[in-house]
Amino acid sequence: MKSLHIREVPEETVERLKRRAARHHRSLQGELLTLLEEAAREVIEPEPDEFALLTVKAGGRQNWTREAIYED
C-alpha cells in the first residue's frame, strides 16, 4: 500500500478534520482514508476527444450542415 504525505496543512484544517473523525468514531488516519476513498470512487466523465455537429433546420427555410458552413 502506498503512503501520502501532505505538507503545510493549516492547523485549523487539521483540527476540523480531527473533530470530524471523532464524530465518525474514527482516527484521523481512518477519516482521511475514508475521504480519499470516497473522492476516488467519484465518476469523472472523460473529456470527449471529438464532437459531432448536428444538421438543423433554421426557420424551415434552409438546412445547414457542417460541410455547408465550413465548406469541407
Q: Number of structural domains, the chain? A: 1
d(CA 15, CA 63): 62
Q: Is residue 5 part of a domain?
A: no
Could you tell me the residue range of the domain that residue 51 belongs to?
A: 11-70
Asked, for residue 2, whether it belongs to a domain, the answer is no
Contacts (Cβ under 8 Å, ≥6 apart) of 58? 64
Whether the full predicted model's pTM is greater than 0.75, yes or no, is no
Residue 29 forms part of a structural domain: yes
6, part of any domain: no
- The per-residue pLDDT for 60 is 64
In tens, the pLDDT along 4-54 reads 999 999 999 999 999 999 999 999 999 999 999 999 998 787 777 777 777
The helix/strand/coil state of 54 is: coil
Indicate the SS3 state at residue 33. helix
Residue 56's pLDDT band (boundaries 50, 70, 90)? low
Amino acid code (one letter) for 52: A
**In a domain? residue 43:** yes
What whole-number distance in Å separates Cα of residue 17 and Cα of residue 37? 15
